């Protein structure tokens, strides 16, 4: 599962890395293409500049054309300068154009344009020179001087006729001039002379005309040359331009092709890259989906396996519960009967056999209890309580319970608990006691001589939180290093021969460890084989109060008196009951009220005690052997001394009304199991004592006795005992002793089919069992009490149950 997860992560990361590499490659490629494209765009701009240059050259040429015309017209130097500047600029631009085309050789074209330009300039200059000459040549004075030489006999003044072939302006000039000359030489001019003058003039004019025509021709020729030159120049420029344009077009097409190719290539690359990325993503998605499906399948399989394991655990738990329960019942019966047989007359051999049976039964019962605990721990059903207790007291109690009173070994038990542990702390005293009991009993079991030291400390971790450290150190056989590793596992025993010798199931330490963990604590072991072992438990606890001093018994009594809700101190009560449990229960209640107490187990003894003592009150059972409650009240009321003595009947009989009791002389009657409050109220009324009902809060925290179990609930008795553990102990012990006898008698009566005796016995047993809420056995006893017949099997069943109950109670007070 974990590796599948890791593989998915690796795949996702690899996928991302590959996609990132491909994406960077694509970006790099596209960037490269963009750069190339911008270079093409750059060259485009350059080309545009070249075209602009060409068109500028063309414009400049036109301008120079205009300037040249103006120059020809005016012949002004200023215009010539402008023209030259324009030609220079054209040449400069041509040079620039040539330079900008690195790849194309324009030299030929520009050379020829330059030459044409030079030629044009030459032509222009010549034309201007011609024009100048024209302007500077005075044809009229020439003509005049020529005409002065003409014959003075020229007399014909008919100018019109004479100059009819001349141009008007010539004619005009000549006429003016002739008028003038006639005025001067009127006397001298003769007709003859006039003819010769005309001839001369004609000739002069013809010459002039010729010269003029020649000049005009020359100008025209120059102009034509200039025009031609311009044309050629323009053509050359046009062809240059066309060539450049052509080249430019080709370049543009080429660039467009390159660009298109580039675009195609880029889009192809992008498409291919995209496809590859898609494929990779697809590959990884398929792969990851495969992995996820696989891991889902594994998960489903794991869940199935987990469900199966849980169902197995549940079945095992059920099986364990069933088997332990089924084992416990017959086992307690065996033990019960063993106890019964032990009380009969037996020879030594039989006693020995019975001892063996008892030991084995006890061993199996311990094993069954351990198994039950273990299965509860494994199923997480072992509940932990948070109760207040005194660890020092708990340690002392446990030691007292575990170490047999009649020590047969030479082993010193040393308790070294620090003063700090003599306080009230909060944790689960039952579990801590269970742990401690196992450690101490192990130490006792595996130590033949020397000492067992039980030490305890309360370490401060924070303000309220403390660590309870208890260690049990013995000088016993010790534990080998190999064994230490598995000592806390189930069924781990070092050496079967030792176990056989010492007994044990191999579950104790496994349960101990789990219990310690359940309490958020731990257990550690230090041991040397042959030298002893030291088990240390560390349990986090909460400190409740600083009560250091262990209250002495007397102090306790004082305290109890102080807080008595009904103070009967100084008064004496006689309690009569044939059922030891009930008797001791009532005794404890009376004690808690401060009474001085006398007891009797039947009416006869009661009467005897009554006569020899002075009593303030009698509390009596009704159904008793020898002399019952009714007989007793009869005797009491008929005796003058006791006729006003308050007597309260405590009866389990429900078939007789209260009035019957009061009629025969009882002051009151309480139905067993009565409530302490009822009893106190009744006593207070009869003895005129103050009684204020106090909220009687059951604080199971103060006891080490397990108050509740599957087959009993001792809360009421705990209440009766005034929440005193020792009193509880006494009551239960009394009940167990009485019940043992009652059972024997019951079996006899059942065998003899003596229903009446059975009924009486059941009646005697019922109140106490009711008080203990031992519901399983109550039903049968009620049948017996009402003289109903029951089958052999029912009786056997009842017997098993009551033995089981007694065994549980016994464990509870001795644990």
Closest to 125 (Cα-Cα) out of 89, 91, 87, 97? 87
Q: Which stretch binds ligand ADP (CB under 6 A): 69-77, 149-157, 485-493, 599-607?
A: 485-493
Q: Please identify, using beta-carbon distances, which residue of 532 and 629 lies nearer to ligand ADP.
A: 532
Establish if 475 lies at the interface with ligand ADP (CB under 6 A): no
Q: Closest separation between CB of residue 473 and ligand ADP, Å?
A: 9
Establish if 450 lies at the interface with ligand ADP (CB under 6 A): no
Q: Closest separation between CB of residue 442 and ligand ADP, Å?
A: 3
Q: Is 794 helix (H, G, I), strand (E, B) or coil?
A: helix
How far is it, in rounded angstroms, from Cα 187 to Cα 155?
10
Instruction: List, as own/partner pairs, every contact residues 212-215 make where C-beta atoms lie below 8 angstroms and the sequence separation is at least 24, other chains included.
Output: 212/139, 215/130, 215/133, 215/134, 215/137
How many residues does this entry show for the chain? Answer: 815
**What backbone torsions phi and psi does residue 407 show, to the nearest 5 degrees?**
-65, 125
Give, as ranges, the residues between 188 and 247 that touch ligand ADP (CB under 6 A).
Answer: none
Q: Which stretch binds ligand ADP (CB under 6 A): 199-207, 235-243, 437-445, 710-718?
A: 437-445
Establish if 474 lies at the interface with ligand ADP (CB under 6 A): yes
Q: Closest separation between CB of residue 477 and ligand ADP, Å?
A: 5
Establish if 471 lies at the interface with ligand ADP (CB under 6 A): no
Q: Please identify, using beta-carbon distances, which residue of 500 and 643 lies nearer to ligand ADP.
A: 500
Q: Is there a contact between 815 and 434 (Cβ–Cβ < 8 Å)?
A: yes
Q: Closest separation between CB of residue 489 and ligand ADP, Å?
A: 9
Q: Which stretch binds ligand ADP (CB under 6 A): 325-333, 350-358, 506-514, 594-602?
A: 506-514
3-state secondary structure 526-578: EEECCCEEEEEEEEEEEEEECCCCCCCHHHHHHHHHHCCCECCCCCEEEEECC
Establish if 273 lies at the interface with ligand ADP (CB under 6 A): no
How far is it, in rounded angstroms, from Cα 467 to Cα 456?
10
Establish if 369 lies at the interface with ligand ADP (CB under 6 A): no
Q: Is there a contact between 789 and 777 (Cβ–Cβ < 8 Å)?
A: no
Establish if 436 lies at the interface with ligand ADP (CB under 6 A): no
Establish if 523 lies at the interface with ligand ADP (CB under 6 A): no
Q: Please identify, using beta-carbon distances, which residue of 229 and 527 lies nearer to ligand ADP.
A: 527
How far is it, in rounded angstroms, from Cα 714 to Cα 802?
15
Token pair 């130590």 in the structure block, residue: 447
Given 72, 205, 240, 509, the residue binding ligand ADP (CB under 6 A):
509
Given 493, 682, 711, 808, the residue binding ligand ADP (CB under 6 A):
493
Please report the DSSP string for 360-398 in residue order: HHHHHHHHHHHHHHHHHHHTT------EEE-HHHHHHHH
Q: Which stretch binds ligand ADP (CB under 6 A): 440-448, 633-641, 672-680, 791-799?
A: 440-448
**Helix 2-74 with 191-342: angle, nearest 10 deg:** 170
Q: Closest separation between CB of residue 487 and ligand ADP, Å?
A: 5
Q: Which stretch binds ligand ADP (CB under 6 A): 151-159, 438-446, 663-671, 672-680?
A: 438-446
Q: Closest separation between CB of residue 510 and ligand ADP, Å?
A: 6
How far is it, in rounded angstroms, from Cα 675 to Cα 717?
10
473 bridge partner residues? 453, 534
Q: Closest separation between CB of residue 529 and ligand ADP, Å?
A: 9
How far is it, in rounded angstroms, from Cα 99 to Cα 118?
21
Q: Is there a contact between 142 and 201 (Cβ–Cβ < 8 Å)?
A: no
Establish if 477 lies at the interface with ligand ADP (CB under 6 A): yes
To which H or E segment does residue 451 belong?
A: strand 449-460
Given 63, 146, 156, 499, the residue binding ligand ADP (CB under 6 A):
499
Q: Closest separation between CB of residue 472 and ligand ADP, Å?
A: 7
Q: Closest separation between CB of residue 490 and ligand ADP, Å?
A: 8
Establish if 434 lies at the interface with ligand ADP (CB under 6 A): no
> For ligand ADP, how many residues bind (rule: CB under 6 A)?
22
Give, as ranges, the residues between 83 and 102 that touch ligand ADP (CB under 6 A).
Answer: none
Establish if 438 lies at the interface with ligand ADP (CB under 6 A): yes
Q: Please identify, using beta-carbon distances, which residue of 479 and 619 lies nearer to ligand ADP.
A: 479
Given 75, 506, 540, 594, the residue binding ligand ADP (CB under 6 A):
506
474 bridge partner residues? 452, 533
Q: Closest separation between CB of residue 406 and ligand ADP, Å?
A: 21
Closest to 504 (Cα-Cα) out of 356, 367, 335? 367
Closest to 131 (Cα-Cα) out of 24, 201, 215? 215
Q: Closest separation between CB of residue 679 and ligand ADP, Å?
A: 45
Q: What does the CA dihedral 199, 202, 206, 207 come to, rounded to 10 degrees?
A: 60
Given 54, 454, 479, 516, the residue binding ligand ADP (CB under 6 A):
479
Establish if 151 lies at the interface with ligand ADP (CB under 6 A): no
Residue 510: asked if its preceding bond is cis (omega within 30°), the reply is: no
Establish if 537 lies at the interface with ligand ADP (CB under 6 A): no
Q: Is there a contact between 538 and 469 (Cβ–Cβ < 8 Å)?
A: yes
How far is it, in rounded angstroms, from Cα 815 to Cα 812?
5
- Exposure string over 232-264, b if 16+ CB within 10 A, otherwise e: bbbebbeebbeebeebbeebbeebeeebeebee
Q: Please identify, using beta-carbon distances, which residue of 324 and 438 lies nearer to ligand ADP.
A: 438
Establish if 443 lies at the interface with ligand ADP (CB under 6 A): yes
Given 154, 163, 430, 446, the residue binding ligand ADP (CB under 6 A):
446
Which residues of this protein are in contact with ligand ADP, per CB under 6 A? Answer: 438, 442-443, 446, 474, 476-479, 487, 492-494, 499, 504-510, 533
């Amino acid at each position: 599962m974990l590796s599948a997860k890791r593989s998915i992560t690796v795949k996702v990361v690899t996928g991302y890395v590959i996609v990132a590499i491909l994406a960077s490659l694509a970006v790099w490629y596209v960037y490269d293409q963009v750069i190339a494209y911008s270079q093409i765009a750059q060259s485009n701009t350059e080309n545009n500049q070249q075209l602009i240059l060409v068109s500028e050259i063309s414009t400049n040429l036109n301008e120079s054309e205009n300037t040249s015309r103006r120059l020809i017209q005016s012949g002004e130097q200023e215009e010539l300068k402008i023209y030259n500047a324009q030609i220079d600029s054209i040449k400069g631009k041509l040079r620039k154009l040539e330079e900008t085309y690195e790849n194309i050789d324009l030299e030929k074209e520009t050379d020829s344009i330059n030459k044409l330009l030079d030629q044009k300039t030459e032509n222009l200059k010549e034309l201007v020179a011609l024009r100048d000459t024209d302007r500077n040549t005075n044809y009229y004075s020439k003509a005049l001087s020529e005409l002065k030489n003409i014959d003075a006999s020229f007399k014909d003044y008919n100018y019109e006729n004479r100059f009819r072939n001349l141009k008007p302006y010539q004619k005009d000039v000549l006429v003016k001039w002739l008028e003038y000359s006639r005025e001067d030489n009127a006397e001298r001019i003769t007709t003859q002379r006039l003819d010769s003058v005309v001839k001369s003039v004609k000739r002069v004019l013809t010459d002039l005309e010729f010269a003029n025509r020649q000049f005009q021709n020359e100008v025209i020729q120059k102009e034509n040359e200039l025009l031609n030159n311009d044309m050629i120049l323009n053509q050359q420029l046009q062809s240059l331009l066309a060539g450049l344009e052509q080249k430019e077009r080709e370049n543009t097409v080429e660039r467009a092709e390159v660009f298109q190719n580039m675009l195609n290539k880029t889009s192809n690359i992008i498409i291919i890259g995209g496809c590859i990325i898609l494929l990779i993503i697809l590959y990884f998605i398929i792969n990851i989906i495969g992995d996820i499906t696989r891991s889902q399948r594994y998960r489903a399989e794991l869940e199935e396996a987990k469900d199966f394991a849980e169902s197995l655990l549940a079945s095992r738990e059920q099986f364990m519960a069933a088997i332990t329960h089924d084992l416990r019942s017959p086992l307690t019966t065996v033990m019960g009967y063993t106890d019964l047989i032990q009380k009969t007359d037996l020879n030594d051999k039989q006693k020995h056999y019975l001892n063996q049976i008892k030991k084995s039964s006890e061993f199996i019962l311990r094993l069954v209890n351990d198994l039950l605990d273990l299965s509860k721990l494994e199923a997480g059903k072992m509940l932990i309580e948070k109760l207040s207790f005194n660890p020092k007291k708990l340690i002392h109690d446990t030691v007292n319970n575990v170490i047999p009173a009649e020590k047969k070994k030479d082993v010193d038990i040393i308790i070294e608990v620090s003063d700090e542990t003599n306080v009230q702390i909060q944790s689960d005293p039952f579990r801590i006691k269970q742990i401690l009991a196992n450690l101490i009993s192990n130490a006792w079991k595996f130590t033949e001589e020397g000492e067992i030291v039980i030490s305890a400390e309360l370490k401060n971790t924070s303000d309220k939180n403390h660590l309870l450290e208890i260690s049990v150190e013995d000088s016993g056989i010790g534990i080998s290093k190999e064994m230490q590793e598995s000592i806390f596992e189930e069924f781990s025993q070092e050496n079967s021969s030792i176990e056989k010798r010492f007994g044990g199931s191999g579950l104790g330490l496994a349960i101990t460890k789990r219990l310690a963990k359940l309490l958020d604590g731990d257990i550690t072991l230090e041991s040397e084989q042959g030298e002893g072992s030291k088990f240390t438990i560390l349990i986090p606890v909460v400190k409740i109060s600083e009560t250091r001093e262990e209250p002495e018994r007397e102090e306790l009594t004082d305290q109890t008196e102080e807080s008595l809700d009904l103070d009967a101190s100084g008064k004496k009560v006689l309690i009569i009951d044939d059922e030891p449990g009930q008797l001791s229960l009532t005794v404890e209640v009376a004690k808690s009220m401060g009474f001085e107490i006398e007891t009797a187990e039947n009416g006869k003894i009661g009467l005897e005690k009554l006569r020899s003592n002075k009593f303030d009150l009698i509390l009596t059972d009704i159904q008793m052997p020898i002399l019952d409650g009714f007989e007793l009240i009869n005797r009491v009321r008929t005796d003058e001394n006791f006729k006003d003595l308050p007597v309260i009947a405590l009866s389990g009989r429900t078939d007789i009304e209260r009035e019957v009791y009061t009629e025969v002389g009882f002051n009151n009657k309480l139905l067993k199991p009565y409530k302490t409050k009822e009893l106190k109220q009744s006593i207070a009324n009869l003895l005129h004592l103050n009684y204020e009902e106090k909220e009687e809060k059951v604080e199971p925290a103060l006891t080490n006795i397990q108050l509740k179990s599957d087959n009993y609930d001792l809360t009421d008795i705990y209440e009766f005992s005034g929440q005193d553990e020792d009193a509880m102990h006494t009551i239960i012990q009394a009940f167990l002793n009485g019940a043992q006898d009652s059972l024997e008698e019951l079996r006899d009566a059942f065998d003899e089919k003596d229903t009446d005796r059975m009924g009486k016995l059941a009646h005697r047993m019922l109140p106490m069992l009711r008080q203990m809420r031992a519901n399983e056995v109550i039903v049968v006893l009620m049948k017996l009490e009402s003289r109903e017949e029951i089958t052999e099997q029912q009786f056997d069943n009842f017997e098993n149950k009551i033995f089981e109950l007694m065994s549980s109670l016994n464990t509870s007070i001795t644990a």
